[in-house]
Copies of this chain bind each other. A is one copy, B any other.
Amino acid sequence: MSLNDNIKTPKTVSVSVSDRGFTYGDGVFETIAYTNGALDHWSLHWQRLILGSKRLEINLPDENYFLAEIDRKISQESDVTNQLATEQLTKNKVIKIIVTRGEGGRGYLFSSKHKSTVIVTVHSWPERSIDDYKKGIKAIVCQTCLAKQPALAGIKHLNRLEQVIARNEFSETDYEEGIMLSCSEHSSKLDRILIEGTSSNLFFVKNNQLYTPIIDTCGVQGTMRQAVINVAKQRGLVVKEDHFSLKVLKTASEIFFTNSIFGVVPVSSICINDEIQWNYALNRISGVDNFQSITGLLMMTINKNLNRPTF
């Protein structure tokens, strides 16, 4: 029996209400950029799918199964929209993969022989203003914290209520991303530990050194985060991963978010509360020579390579 015999791919775009993805959030997912007829950073997404399904003991089909399924869905998409297949194939799309432990089981208990549910869907590309890349975005520190749960840290699982609550703290504002800190008893927000954005990872530069929060107690190990770490290394830059409190960002010279769809996006300001805002002047993150800033270097390599906007 091949690995894939144990996988159920629903023919429709619905799942049973007894699917454990629905009843318990018992699964993992990936959001992958499909640009110019190819998947961006597939191997990083695939590695994280393996990490997540191993951690949760969810049966995973093999790599070729996913690649064939994505191809099939992209072709279907072309048929449905009734456009020229070639035109359609060059359009940017977002591919979402969800793998759950499948239907049923007795309560929380599952069988190692469960039949996983695999869902692959194709979504339109969310266009982002070029100004976000050229001028940076405004971010706000969320009140909602990320609970420390080492058993779930790093993987991209389907239990996302913390992100839902945090993202909606700044709906109907012009903040474009929220910074999440880990839950702690520290009374001062400034002393709490930085983790990530609501749907992105966070990096900062201080004294020409690149830093990013370590993802060991909560947060997601983003694929674009890994791509930045890899590219930085190739360029002779070491990324220091550690626990940092929020206040470290006050004296940072550059801050940026990373996300599989948007690539590297610089930050122009962070709202701490009603009274405090930290600004990151454009000349700190840009310059006549883009390579004067680390954000510039990374945008000129990663974003350019992936056809995302740069400065």
| A contact set with B: CB distance below 8 Å | 10, 12-26, 29, 56-57, 98, 101, 106-110, 119, 121, 126, 144-145, 147-152, 157-168, 171, 183, 198-199, 218
Contacts and interface: CB of A to CB of B under 8 A. Distances in A.
Contact of A107 (B18, B98, B144, B167): B167
7 contacts: A14-B14, A15-B17, A24-B161, A56-B164, A56-B165, A110-B168, A148-B148
Copies of this chain, how many? 2
Contacts of A160: 23-26, 108, 159
B148 A107 contact: no
Contacts of A110: 164, 168, 171
Contacts of A109: 167-168, 171
Given A15-B17, A25-B161, 20 more contacts: A12-B14, A13-B17, A15-B22, A17-B98, A22-B22, A22-B98, A24-B161, A25-B25, A25-B158, A26-B164, A56-B161, A56-B165, A106-B126, A107-B167, A107-B199, A108-B168, A109-B167, A109-B171, A147-B152, A152-B162
Given A108-B167, A151-B162, A23 B13 contact: no
A183 B149 contact: yes
Contacts of A157: 161
Contacts of A183: 147-150
A240 B206 CA distance: 51
Contacts of A107: 167, 199
B152 A161 contact: yes
Contacts of A10: 17
